[in-house]
């Protein structure tokens, strides 16, 4: 927060765009690894039980794929935000080249 205030009306350091890109990529790849690989390709029984205990009673919007775990509505909304942020930071990075 201190850096955000400090650089409010100043040029940002050259490494900031790389940090944004790396941060968004790691976040998006983590969501894919944690939710969509198990959703499409299956998960261990332990992982299925863990996801079921976390997701019980929540709204599911993705169709079931066997007994594979699936993200609930809140997670799907987060994942859409991750994709949007990744797209925006990629556009910013490409525009600076």
Domain count, the chain: 1
Q: Is residue 4 part of a domain?
A: no
pTM for the model: 0.84
User: Residue 2, class by beta-carbon neighbours within 10 Å (0-12 exposed, 13-18 middle, 19+ buried)?
Assistant: exposed
Q: Is residue 7 part of a domain?
A: no
Contact criterion met (CB below 8 Å) for 21 and 90: yes
DSSP the chain: -HHHHHTTTSPPPTTHHHHHHHHHHHHHHHHIIIIIHHHHH---HHHHHHHHHHHTTS-B-SPP-TT----BHHHHHHHHHHHHHHHHHHHHHHHH-
What is the residue-level pLDDT of the chain in tens, covering all 97 positions?
898 888 888 888 888 889 999 999 999 999 999 999 999 999 999 999 999 999 999 999 999 999 999 999 999 999 999 999 999 999 988 987 7
- What is the residue range of 33's domain? 14-96
């Amino acid at each position: 927060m201190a850096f955000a205030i400090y650089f409010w009306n100043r040029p940002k350091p050259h490494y900031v765009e790389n940090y944004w890109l790396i941060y968004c990529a790691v976040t998006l790849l983590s969501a894919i690894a944690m939710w969509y690989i198990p959703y499409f390709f299956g998960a261990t029984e332990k992982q299925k039980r863990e996801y079921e205990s976390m997701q019980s009673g929540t709204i599911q919007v993705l169709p079931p794929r066997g007994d594979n775990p699936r993200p609930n509505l809140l997670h799907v909304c987060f994942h859409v935000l991750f994709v949007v942020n990744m797209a925006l930071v990629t556009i910013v990075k490409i525009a600076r080249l």
